[in-house]
Amino acid sequence: KAGVTQTPRYLIKTRGQQVTLSCSPISGHRSVSWYQQTPGQGLQFLFEYFSETQRNKGNFPGRFSGRQFSNSRSEMNVSTLELGDSALYLCASSLGQGVDEQYFGPGTRLTVT
């Protein structure tokens, strides 16, 4: 089975712009979660989707949003980018919810200048 794929792998944007990141989960997985990883804050949970519904949300401002499509693929969007949004954004998929382990993609490295 193919693993979790994320596109693009690298992205450079300027302040004020918006960005959309894409995640394709492992085939058959219905749950997708997003995380932000930075050296200072570590791994921070953004949101989790299951069957196109947002199940859980982390403590991020409304500039961060996401969605999941009927084929379980997911996108996250960040509007009005700030320098502090520079990070590695990781997507993870799991078969279901709760006790199922998550499988992570390689991440999208976003740099905001």
Partner 1 sequence: AQSVAQPEDQVNVAEGNPLTVKCTYSVSGNPYLFWYVQYPNRGLQFLLKYITGDNLVKGSYGFEAEFNKSQTSFHLKKPSALVSDSALYFCAVRDILNTDKLIFGTGTRLQVFP
Residues contributing to the site for partner 1 (CB under 8 A): 4, 33, 35, 42-43, 45, 48, 55-56, 58, 90, 92, 97-99, 101-107
Q: In whole angstroms, how close is the CB of 104 to partner 1 at the nearest point?
A: 4
Q: In whole angstroms, how close is the CB of 11 to partner 1 at the nearest point?
A: 15
Question: Which CB sits closer to partner 1, 79 or 95?
Answer: 95
Q: In whole angstroms, how close is the CB of 80 to partner 1 at the nearest point?
A: 25
Residue 19 contacts residue 76 (beta carbons within 8 Å): no
Query: Rounded to whole angstroms, how far apart are CA atoms 66 and 34?
Result: 9
Question: Which CB sits closer to partner 1, 42 or 62?
Answer: 42
Please state the φ and ψ torsions of residue 63, each to the nearest 5 degrees: -65, -20
Question: Which CB sits closer to partner 1, 57 or 63?
Answer: 57
Cα 106–Cα 108–Cα 110 angle in degrees, nearest 5: 150
Q: In whole angstroms, how close is the CB of 53 to partner 1 at the nearest point?
A: 13
Query: Rounded to whole angstroms, how far apart are CA atoms 93 and 5?
Result: 10
Q: 36 to each of 3, 41, 69, how far by Cα in Å? A: 19, 9, 21
